[in-house]
């Protein structure tokens, strides 16, 4: 399971690059963990830790017949010390097989029986891009940062926050009441002079750009 505590803290502190690095590390770790968990289940079936008592062991253990009446007997720990085929989980995971014998060299060519495949870059990026808290933070940052709008030969950095949208509605109302020109102050302190004839084109541009954050 992905540990999101440090990731969410980094996002809250505005350290989005750091959050992405943590997400990458956590995803790769979780990917390997799932690989190990899958093979651990297979390993436990091959080499279980305990077994049921044999009939002979039950008779020896149950001298007073109490367990026979209840049908309950403790499990017996399996001793693999004399089992030449026994593998530890680490040995099982890293088990190799010969795929080709060298004809001139003494060394044999081998490969892992259970190879681990690293996640692809696309898989990692897809996970990072779809991590909802980071997604929201990036959108919020983009809204605050905004885009450049050129008006009368001057470039203005226009943010797309909610308060900027509300401000535009107020400016629109002013123009509808007969105002011919005004200065719009945005949340990033950008001040843009604009006339009523220029406002329609700007408001369309603003709406289209801001709508991208809600697609």
pLDDT tens column, 62-71:
665 666 666 6
- DSSP percent split of the chain into helix, strand, coil, nearest 5: 55, 15, 30
Q: How confident is the model at residue 7 (pLDDT cuts 50, 70, 90)?
A: very high
Return the number of other C-beta atoms located less than 10 Å from residue 147's C-beta. 15
Which among 164, 162, 150, 163 has a CA at the least distance from the CA of 194? 150
Assess whether pLDDT exceeds 90 at residue 32.
yes
Percent of the chain whose predicted confidence (pLDDT) is above 90: 62
**How far out from the chain centre does Cα 199 lie?**
42
Which sequence spans correspond to the domains of the chain? 146-214
The answer to whether residues 177 and 149 touch, using CB atoms and an 8 Å cutoff, is no
Using DSSP, state whether 97 is helix, strand or coil.
Answer: strand
Instruction: Work out the average pLDDT over 4-25.
Output: 91
CA distances from 38 to 25, 43, 49, 183, 199 (A): 20, 9, 17, 63, 61
0.85 cut: is pTM over it? no
**Mean of per-residue pLDDT scores for the chain:** 88
Residue 105's pLDDT is 61
pLDDT tens column, 136-177:
898 888 888 889 999 999 999 999 989 999 999 999 999 999
Cα 11–Cα 14–Cα 16 angle in degrees, nearest 5: 65
The answer to whether residues 206 and 160 touch, using CB atoms and an 8 Å cutoff, is yes
CB within 8 Å of 190: residues ≥ 6 apart? 156, 157, 158, 159
Return the number of other C-beta atoms located less than 10 Å from residue 48's C-beta. 10
Q: Give the C-alpha separation, 129 to 133, whole Å.
A: 10
Residue 66's pLDDT is 60
Length of the chain (residues): 215
Residue 195's pLDDT is 96
Instruction: Quote the tokens at residue 195.
Output: 């006339």
The answer to whether residues 20 and 11 touch, using CB atoms and an 8 Å cutoff, is no
């Amino acid at each position: 399971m992905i540990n999101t505590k440090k990731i969410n803290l980094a996002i809250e502190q505005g350290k989005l690059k750091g959050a992405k690095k943590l997400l990458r590390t956590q995803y790769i770790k979780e990917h390997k963990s799932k690989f190990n968990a899958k093979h651990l289940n297979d390993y436990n079936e091959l080499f279980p830790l305990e077994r049921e008592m044999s009939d002979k062991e039950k008779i020896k253990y149950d001298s007073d017949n109490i367990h026979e009446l209840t049908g309950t007997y403790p499990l017996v720990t399996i001793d693999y010390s004399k089992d030449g085929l026994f593998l530890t989980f680490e040995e099982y995971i890293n088990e190799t097989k010969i795929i080709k014998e060298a004809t001139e060299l003494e060394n044999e060519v081998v490969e892992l029986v259970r190879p681990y495949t690293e996640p692809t870059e696309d898989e990692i990026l897809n996970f990072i891009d779809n991590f909802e808290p980071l997604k929201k933070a990036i959108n919020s940052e983009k809204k605050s940062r905004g885009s450049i709008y050129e008006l009368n030969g001057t470039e203005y950095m226009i943010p797309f926050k909610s308060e900027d949208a509300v401000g535009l509605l107020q400016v629109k109302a002013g123009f509808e009441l007969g105002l011919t020109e005004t200065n719009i102050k945005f949340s990033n302190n950008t001040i843009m002079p604009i006339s009523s004839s220029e406002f329609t084109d700007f408001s369309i541009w603003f709406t289209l750009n801001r709508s991208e954050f809600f697609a």
